[in-house]
């Protein structure tokens, strides 16, 4: 792959989407060919799957179905844009990727992590981010900042969201070269300065 792949991860209300948008603006200002995607979503079929996943009326969705739907959305996004765009030397920024499934469905719901990794390999064709920026915020704080109208995942218990956060922190210890943790304890601008250090390093800017 000739391009670079950077993901933004974190629990609810961590501000990662705002930071991803700032990163896009920054790289565009440098005239670098950059695309911003989100998961689940990024392409039409995956955005449709997103609606199913986040719909609060889907109360009966099993953990297995949920895991497979996140993977299905990912597989389509990878095939339709991520892989071809990386091949044509683009910089891809993605708001969430496979680490989200490990944190939310693995640590959160208790789905076997090895199974998620195997499904992940299938869905992503083995594509791994060059850099993952993980925005860390205590869930008590983050859930307060998240949108008023909670979706199917946001509505889960504080205990669930604590497991998700711990999952992310475990992942950052397993992959310290790839996953950089940024504490959400400063202004948006201040936090972006920290993000920029990692982006500049991975892109040799």
Give the residue with the Cβ less far from ligand TMP, 135 or 192: 135
CA distance 152 to 74: 19
Residues 47-76: x where in contact with ligand TMP by CB under 6 A, - otherwise, as a string: -----------------------x------
Cα separation of the two ends of the chain: 19
Distance CA 205, CA 201 (A): 7
Whose Cβ is closer to ligand TMP: residue 32's or residue 58's? Answer: 58
Helix (H), strand (E) at residue 37: strand 34-38
Please identify, using beta-carbon distances, which residue of 32 and 141 lies nearer to ligand TMP.
Answer: 141
Determine which residue in the list 5, 104, 135, 192 makes contact with ligand TMP, applying CB under 6 A: 104
CB of 40 to ligand TMP, least distance (A): 5
Q: Is 153 a residue that touches ligand TMP (CB under 6 A)?
A: yes
- The rounded radius of gyration (Å) of the Cα atoms in the chain is 16
Give the whole-angstrom CA distance, residue 33 versus residue 91. 6
Nearest distance, CB of residue 33 and ligand TMP, angstroms: 24
Whole-Å CA distances, 195 to 44, 84, 139: 29, 26, 21
Asked if 136 is part of the footprint of ligand TMP (rule: CB under 6 A), the reply reads no
The answer for residues whose C-beta is within 8 angstroms of residue 111's C-beta and 6 or more apart is 63, 64, 67, 105
Smallest gap from residue 146 Cβ to ligand TMP (A): 8
100 sits near ligand TMP (criterion: CB under 6 A): yes
CA distance 129 to 52: 26
Q: Closest CB to ligand TMP belongs to which residue?
A: 104
Interaction site with ligand TMP (CB under 6 A): 38-40, 70, 96, 100-101, 104-105, 153-154
């Amino acid at each position: 792959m000739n391009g670079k792949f950077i993901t933004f991860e974190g629990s609810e209300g961590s501000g990662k989407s705002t930071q991803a948008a700032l990163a896009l603006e920054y790289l565009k200002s440098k005239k670098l060919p950059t695309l911003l995607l989100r998961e689940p979503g990024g392409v039409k079929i995956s955005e449709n799957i997103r609606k199913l996943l986040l719909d609060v009326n889907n109360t009966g969705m099993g953990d297995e179905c949920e895991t497979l739907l996140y993977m299905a959305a990912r597989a389509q996004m990878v095939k339709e844009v991520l892989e071809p765009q990386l091949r044509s030397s683009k910089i891809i920024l993605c708001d969430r990727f496979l680490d989200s499934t490990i944190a939310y469905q693995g640590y959160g719901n208790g789905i076997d992590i090895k199974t998620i990794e195997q499904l992940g390999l299938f869905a992503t064709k083995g594509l791994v981010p060059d850099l993952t920026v993980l925005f860390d915020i205590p869930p008590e704080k983050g859930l307060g900042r998240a949108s008023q109208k909670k979706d199917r995942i946001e509505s889960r218990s504080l205990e669930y969201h604590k497991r998700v956060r711990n999952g992310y922190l475990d992942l950052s210890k397993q992959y310290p070269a790839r996953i950089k943790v940024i504490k959400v304890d400063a202004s948006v601008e201040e936090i972006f300065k920290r993000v920029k250090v990692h982006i500049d390093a991975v892109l040799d800017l």
